[in-house]
Amino acid sequence: MVVMLFVPIWTKENAATQEIAKLTALQLTYQKQTQTISQVPTFYVGILAVLAMVLAYVSLFSFKNRMLQIKLNWANSLIMISLLGVCTYLSVVQGESMVATATKGNYGIGLFLPAIALILNSLANRFIWKDEKLVKSIDRLR
């Protein structure tokens, strides 16, 4: 999630008119012939990414309370899903209309990182739940 703050999420180019639209975690910029025409602040994407990162670290260090860890991971999953939704909305609705060309924009690594984090978060939740079941079964044997 830290890397997402520094890499492009989405870009679209028109080589004939030298127009470029680029979405990062902090802004959506539109450049024409190396001159910046407009900058739309998208700081809320960065805030969601930082919030997901902080929740992951808090969850990581709350290993003594597995039920809290599971709840934090579910909240983190919701944040990452909303982050993916916001990034998709910004690229498809706002970004595509900036550059007039028939081709679609290219998604960068910044969009795939939250998806990977979401998958890993789900796997972590699954194994935490499995560990919780194991501890409860051992407590029954005592």
Residues in the chain: 142
* Both structure tokens of 74: 């579910």
Do the strands 35-41 and 27-32 form a parallel or antiparallel pair, or are they unpaired? antiparallel
Does domain 3-141 fall under CATH 2.30.30? My reply is no
d(CA 139, CA 94): 55
Question: Per-residue pLDDT for 140 more than 80?
Answer: no
Per residue in 19-36, pLDDT (tens digit) is 889 999 999 998 888 787
d(CA 38, CA 136): 57
The answer to whether the beta carbons of residues 4 and 49 sit under 8 Å apart is yes
pTM of the model: 0.86
When pLDDT is averaged across residues 36-58 and rounded to a whole number, the result is 92
- Domains of the chain: which residue ranges? 3-141
Phi/psi of residue 39, each to 5°? Answer: -135, 120
